[in-house]
Structure 1
Amino acid sequence: MIDSTKMPGAARAYFDGGDARDVFTEDAVVRDDGRMYVGIGEIVAWKSAVSTAFTFTQKIESVHTPGSAVVVSVNVEGDFPGSPIRLHHHFTLDGDRISALTVCP
């Protein structure tokens, strides 16, 4: 397993369960499961809906940091359809916050 402390702070805070208000920029965009969430209000609602709908664990498999991006491959296992699955989280950082996140298989 990869040591998440080697990830840039905002991505690490995301995986450590940080409050979306402290992790994302106000105008951030998240793309997940074919949907787009724009702005901190929609992102907070998305994060809350996912965490209450399913129980799951995440195991970070790899971290790549090309330029201002961070790409994290994660094995996710839980009580959701299609479990287990490997997901790739593509972060775009703006300083110490996430300005964009795309989650895809």
Structure 2
Amino acid sequence: MNLPEVIKDLVNAQNNFDSTAYANCFSETAIAFDEGKNHTGKTEIKSWIEESNKKYKSVMKPLEYTENGNTSVLSAECSGTFEGSPIVLQFHFEIADGKIQHLKVTG
């Protein structure tokens, strides 16, 4: 599967529970939406993913990737310490200048 570098970096950061590397995949003003909440900016995104990693210990296995201009969707099998694991989630990205501008996680 041919993933953009920033998405490869995001998956690697998630699978290594590295919240700093994860946040560094985003622009300074990025927005990440997950579980009904927006997390705005790299600092909030880092805090969100640190908390999520502690709570769920989730790892990602990319299954499919589609791209349309600056928007893309990664379907990934996510497994961890949450009820219903593993599940397939869709990660909807807007990417510009090699950084994630917007991420929306859906089930």
Give the structure-1-normalised TM-score.
0.88
| The 10-residue stretch of structure 1 (45-54 or 11-20) with the greater mean CA deviation from structure 2 | 11-20
Count the aligned residue pairs. 101
* Contact 1:11-1:70 within 8 A present in 2 as well: no
Counterpart Cα distance in 2 of 1:76 and 1:8 = 19
| The 10-residue stretch of structure 1 (72-81 or 23-32) with the greater mean CA deviation from structure 2 | 72-81
Give the structure-2-normalised TM-score.
0.86
Aligned residue for 1:52? 54
Tell me whether 1:12 sits opposite 2:8 in the alignment: yes
- Residues 1-105 of structure 1 aligned to structure 2 (within 5 Å): 3=1, 6-17=2-13, 19-105=21-107
Counterpart Cα distance in 2 of 1:96 and 1:26 = 12
Q: What's the offset of the Cα at 1:36?
A: 0.6
Offset from partner CA, 1:76-101 (integer Å, 9 cap, x none): 12211232211000110011100000
| The 10-residue stretch of structure 1 (29-38 or 47-56) with the greater mean CA deviation from structure 2 | 47-56
CA RMSD of aligned residues (A): 1.4
Q: What's the offset of the Cα at 1:21?
A: 4.2
Segments of 4+ in structure 1 off by > 4 A? none
Which runs of 5 or more residues in structure 2 are unaligned?
none
Q: Secondary structure at the match of 1:16?
A: helix
User: Identity, % of aligned pairs?
Assistant: 26
Which runs of 5 or more residues in structure 1 are unaligned?
none
